[in-house]
């Protein structure tokens, strides 16, 4: 008797729990699962944005267009007179055939995404949408470097404002200012500082100290674009990192340091044996936050580089808004989703974040 009544009670409770959870589930379905499903569905169609043209189901076409690539070897150009490989007279570089001669055109046009050399042979990677492949690469580079520098600088800043000194409270507040500025506003601000003439801060300073000639175009020359964008993001998001790490630092009990002091451990040793291990959980959370955030970066790229260079998200935006390919844009959205999901799982596994 007693057993059955308790199991009845458990069942009742389960029912109640289910009822109580139902609204949350419904909301989740409406605001998360439904739009996501819609994007998945649209990614299999050729829907056009803001148009009444008929939408057709095209299967995996969008994904194929985005992801197919091919690697071809570029044949060296043979000089007719000498019988050896021709060399550019100006640069002294060996000449190879141009990718347009070797990449397939039928049934789909492959365009060069990038070239690389391997044992003296030159290869070209062709893709049907090289801009997308490049945008993924840009985003990964951006994510790696910005998160790396933000973590490093954030840790230093957190350690500084965690130590006792006069005006610590004010310092902590001031530290947060860059993070409080809206990204679009700070991106515009930096855009002015990056001006390609001496009207821009960096060119002015560089010119004054005789480092550069005052006409560096940070935002239009290919080598400087990503470093410039990463600098903006590091400036803006380091405070956020510092804040998260600071919270972790404050959880570490002072007694540990006192004991270490008594045992004669150096400050250096204290940092690596006490601070870092105990900081690991907070660092892991901070890293996950920032990495996932950086992977879907949009605003800095859109404001500062627009269509000069894409991140995954800004490429997605331009496919939707400028090319009006809603099906294609949805497929990109799905791919971004999968990439970010993969990163999340990777982090959880490798950093041993407890999910329970």
Both tokens of 312, joined, read 């995954």
68: contact with other proteins by CB under 8 A: no
- Can you tell me the distance from the alpha carbon of 155 to that of 189, in angstroms, rounded to the nearest whole number? 26
Q: Which residue has the tokens 């998360």?
A: 32
Q: Buried b vs exposed e over 323-353: b needs ≥16 C-beta within 10 Å?
A: eebbbbbbbbbbbbeebbeebeeebeeeeee
CA distance 93 to 91: 5
Separation CA 147–CA 345 (nearest Å):
17
**In the structure encoding, which two tokens stand for residue 180, read together?**
């409080």
Residues 80-99 that bind other proteins (CB under 8 A): 98-99
- Residue whose tokens read 């809206």: 182
Among 76, 178, 196, 281, binds other proteins (CB under 8 A): 196
Question: Whose Cβ is closer to other proteins: residue 127's or residue 242's?
Answer: 127
Q: Which of 49, 114, 257, 289 binds other proteins (CB under 8 A)?
A: 49
Report, in Å, the least distance between residue 308 CB and other proteins.
5
Residue from the set 198, 289, 337, 351 that interacts with other proteins by CB under 8 A: 198
Dihedrals phi, psi of 135, to nearest 5 degrees: -65, -35
Shorter beta-carbon distance to other proteins: residue 163 or 223:
223
Q: What kind and span of H or E run contains 124?
A: strand 121-127
Binder among 117, 220, 250, 266 for other proteins (CB under 8 A): 220
Q: Is 100 in the site for other proteins (CB under 8 A)?
A: yes
Q: Is 14 in the site for other proteins (CB under 8 A)?
A: no
Q: Does 197 bind other proteins (CB under 8 A)?
A: yes
Q: How far is the CB of 112 from other proteins (least distance, A)?
A: 8
| Contact range with other proteins by CB under 8 A, out of 16-24, 103-111, 119-127, 334-342 | 103-111
Is 299 a binding residue for other proteins by CB under 8 A? The answer is no
Give the contact letters, 153-172, x = binds to other proteins (CB under 8 A), - = no: --------------------
d(CA 27, CA 4): 35
Residue 172 dihedral angles phi and psi, to the nearest 5° = -65, -35
Binding site for other proteins (CB under 8 A): 49-52, 98-100, 105, 109, 111, 195-199, 214-217, 219-222, 306-308, 317, 321-324
């Amino acid at each position: 008797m007693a057993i059955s009544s308790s199991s009845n009670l458990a069942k009742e409770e389960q029912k109640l729990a289910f009822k109580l959870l139902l609204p949350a589930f419904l909301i989740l379905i409406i605001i998360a699962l439904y739009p996501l499903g819609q994007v998945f569905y649209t990614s299999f169609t050729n829907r056009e944005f803001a148009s009444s043209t008929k939408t057709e189901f095209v299967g995996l076409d969008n994904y194929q267009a985005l992801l197919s690539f091919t690697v071809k070897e570029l044949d060296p150009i043979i000089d007719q007179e000498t019988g050896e490989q021709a060399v550019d007279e100006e640069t002294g570089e060996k000449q190879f055939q141009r990718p347009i001669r070797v990449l397939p055109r039928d049934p789909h046009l492959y365009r060069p995404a990038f070239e690389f050399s391997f044992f003296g042979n030159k290869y070209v990677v062709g893709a049907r949408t090289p801009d997308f492949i490049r945008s993924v690469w840009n985003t990964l580079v951006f994510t790696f470097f910005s998160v790396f520098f933000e973590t490093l600088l954030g840790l230093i800043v957190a350690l500084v404002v965690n130590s006792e000194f006069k005006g610590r409270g004010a310092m902590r507040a001031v530290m947060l200012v860059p993070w409080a500025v809206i990204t679009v506003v700070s991106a515009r601000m930096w855009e002015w500082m990056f001006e390609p003439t001496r009207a821009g801060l960096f060119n002015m300073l560089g010119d004054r100290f005789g480092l550069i000639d005052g006409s560096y175009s940070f935002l239009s020359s290919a080598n400087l674009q990503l470093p410039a964008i990463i600098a903006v993001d590091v400036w803006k998001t380091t405070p956020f990192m510092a804040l998260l790490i600071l919270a972790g630092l404050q959880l570490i009990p002072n007694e540990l340091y006192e004991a270490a002091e008594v045992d004669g451990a150096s400050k250096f040793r204290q940092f690596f044996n006490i601070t870092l291990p105990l900081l690991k959980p907070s660092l892991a959370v901070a890293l996950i936050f920032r990495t996932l955030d950086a992977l879907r970066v949009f605003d800095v790229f859109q404001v500062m580089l627009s269509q000069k260079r894409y991140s995954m998200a800004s490429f997605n935006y331009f496919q939707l808004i400028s090319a009006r390919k809603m099906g294609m844009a949805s497929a990109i959205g799905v791919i971004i989703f999968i990439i970010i999901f993969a990163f999340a799982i990777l982090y959880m596994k490798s950093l041993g974040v407890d999910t329970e």
